[in-house]
């Protein structure tokens, strides 16, 4: 009888303790900025805007000289086959905002600042922002694990955190096949991707993998109760003033402004009319313009679509210079926050140099396999911007 009474006592104690432990677990809570803190933020922004205006006036002649150098640079790259649009801004002024070659070769329609391009993996920067917005709004925590969102996930995948997903330190493999996707079903796709063996323990190393961002898109849907594209359109794109951007097949996209995509001389079609399925969500196939990307960069600096804490987390490097949806480099003592993108017939490179109040965006609609033309252009534009300081 004694052993039986002991077992019953233990069970009763567990029944009392388990709810208590669950109650004590930290829960996601909305993070709100107090009125006093917001007044301080607004005051500091007003002061920085005045400094920017003064700096722009003082540097007007230097900006003119830099614009000429940028134009010469890009004319040279056009001769080397650069096809796309470029925007370079400094001190709040667009120094170069121009299209090169054709958006549609058959129609002889030129690329332009408002042309729509496939931005490839630069989409990941936006997906990370979507997760951070949900964290800010108390819908999730960055240390939440996959087990919370996908209870049937394999045991070795359940401990992976959202931070590890967004920083490519989850251990999820970058290798997958079409058999792992059900393009119409989020849950089946998640199941297929999580069935692939891990390449390392979660948090152990950095390994760039689209799988992380497919899963992150699924988390956005579960936490928000909306489709990935609807949530992102409303809370990230519209909140940052990106009036021309969306995801492939989006109703608001103007196909007449779409840049056709050319790879190794072959026309890969317009991204605006491609179906948006679980083969793209989260990691690619966002459509934007160089001008909208400038609006996004400005919103990072001047708007509250993400609060200060979320932005700090966004740019906080985890491993191998990768933060949450950003590569953060230090070149000659100056930080550069950037991300590259690649898709069939499209390349992209987006960079911000916050310490010198500069940014640039390259969107290409023609490429060759193995070419790194966008990196060459980015390196030279970055050097020209830093040389002015």
> What's the pLDDT score for residue 231?
98
Q: What mean pLDDT do residues 307-330 have? A: 97
**DSSP reduced 3-state for 181:** coil
Averaged pLDDT, 307-327: 97
What is the average pLDDT value for the chain, to the nearest integer?
92
HEC sequence for 275-328? CCCCCCCCCCCEEECHHHHHHHHHHHHHCCCCCHHHHHHHCCCCECCECCCCEE
Q: What is the largest CA-CA distance in the chain?
A: 94
pLDDT of amino acid 251: 87
Question: What residues contact residue 111 under an 8 Å CB cut-off, 6+ apart?
Answer: 83, 84, 85, 99, 100, 101, 102, 103, 259, 365
| Mean pLDDT, residues 358-374 | 95
pLDDT of res. 9: 39
Q: Which residue, 129, 91, 67, 120, is CA-closest to 298?
A: 91
Q: Do the domain assignments include residue 20?
A: no
Quick check: is 33 in a domain? no
User: Which range marks the domain in which residue 359 is found?
Assistant: 39-387
pLDDT score, position 26: 63
220-240 mean pLDDT: 98
What is the crossing angle of helices 35-58 and 60-79, to 10°? Answer: 80
**Lookup result for tokens 């497919």:** 214
Q: Is the pLDDT of residue 389 over 90?
A: no
Are 241 and 295 in contact by the 8 Å Cβ rule? The answer is: yes
Taking 70 as the threshold, does the pLDDT of residue 20 lie above it?
no
Asked if residue 344 is part of any domain, the answer here is yes
The whole-number average pLDDT for the span 88-100 is 98
pLDDT in tens, 100-148: 999 999 999 999 999 999 999 999 999 999 999 999 999 999 999 999 9
**Model confidence at 319: pLDDT above 60:** yes
Whether 27 shows a pLDDT value over 50: the answer reads yes
| pLDDT at residue number 28 | 81
- Residue 8 belongs to some domain of the structure: no
Query: Is residue 21 situated within a structural domain?
Result: no
* Higher per-residue pLDDT: 160 or 19: 160
Please give the tally of structural domains in the chain. Answer: 1
Query: Are the CB atoms for 95 and 185 separated by under 8 Å?
Result: no
pLDDT at 115: 98
Find the Cα–Cα–Cα–Cα dihedral 26, 27, 30, 35, rounded to 10°: -30
* Residue 209: inside a domain: yes
- Residue 360, pLDDT above cutoff 80: yes
What one-character DSSP code corresponds to residue 116?
B
Cα dihedral 101→103→104→107 (10° resolution)? -70
Q: Is 205 part of any domain?
A: yes
β partners of residue 263:
266, 367
Does some domain include residue 17? no
Nearest of 324, 357, 369 to residue 124 by alpha carbon: 324
Question: How many CA atoms are closer than 13 Å to the CA of 29, on its beta-carbon side?
Answer: 6
Number of CB atoms found within 10 A of residue 88's CB: 27
Average pLDDT over residues 145-158: 98
Task: List the structure tokens of 240.
Answer: 């940052």
Higher pLDDT, 9 or 147: 147
Alpha-carbon distance of 284 to 212, in angstroms, equals 12
Please list, in sequence order, all residues whose beta carbon lies within 8 angstroms of the beta carbon of residue 37, skipping any fewer than 6 positions away: none
The continuous run of DSSP H or E covering 118 comes out as strand 117-118
pLDDT computed for residue 92 by the predictor: 97
Q: What is the CATH number of the domain that holds 56?
A: 3.40.710.10
């Amino acid at each position: 009888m004694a052993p039986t009474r002991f077992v019953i006592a233990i069970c009763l104690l567990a029944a009392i303790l388990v709810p208590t432990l669950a109650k004590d677990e930290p829960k996601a809570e909305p993070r709100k900025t107090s009125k006093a803190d917001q007044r301080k933020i607004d005051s500091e922004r007003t002061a920085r805007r005045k400094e920017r205006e003064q700096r722009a006036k003082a540097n007007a002649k230097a900006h003119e000289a830099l614009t000429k150098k940028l134009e010469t640079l890009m004319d040279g790259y056009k001769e080397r086959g650069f096809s796309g649009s470029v925007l370079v801004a400094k001190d709040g002024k667009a120094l170069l905002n121009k299209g090169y070659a054709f958006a549609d070769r058959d129609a002889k329609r030129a690329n332009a600042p408002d042309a729509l391009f496939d931005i490839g993996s630069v989409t990941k920067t936006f997906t990370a922002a979507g997760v951070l917005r949900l964290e800010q709004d108390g819908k999730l925590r960055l240390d939440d694990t996959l087990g919370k969102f996908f209870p049937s996930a394999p045991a070795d995948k359940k401990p992976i955190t959202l931070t590890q997903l967004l920083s490519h330190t989850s251990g999820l493999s970058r290798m997958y096949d079409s058999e792992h996707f059900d393009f119409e079903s989020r849950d089946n796709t998640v199941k297929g991707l999580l069935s692939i063996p891990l390449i390392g323990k979660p948090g152990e190393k950095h390994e760039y993998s689209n799988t992380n961002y497919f899963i992150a898109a699924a988390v956005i849907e579960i936490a928000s109760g909306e489709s990935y594209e609807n949530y992102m359109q409303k809370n990230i794109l519209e909140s940052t003033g990106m009036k021309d951007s969306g995801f492939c097949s989006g109703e608001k996209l103007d196909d007449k402004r779409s840049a056709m995509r050319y790879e190794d001389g072959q026309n890969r079609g317009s991204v605006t009319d491609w179906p948006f399925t679980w083969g793209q969500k989260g990691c690619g196939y966002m459509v934007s313009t160089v001008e909208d990307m400038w609006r996004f960069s400005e919103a990072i600096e001047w708007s509250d679509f993400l609060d200060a804490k979320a932005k700090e987390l966004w740019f906080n490097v985890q491993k191998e210079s990768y933060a949450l949806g950003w590569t953060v480099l230090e070149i000659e003592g100056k930080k550069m926050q950037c991300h590259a993108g690649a898709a069939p017939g499209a390349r992209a490179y987006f960079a911000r140099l916050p310490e010198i109040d500069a940014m640039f965006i390259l969107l290409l609609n023609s490429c060759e396999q193995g070419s790194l033309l966008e990196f060459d252009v980015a390196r030279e534009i970055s050097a020209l911007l830093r040389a002015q300081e």
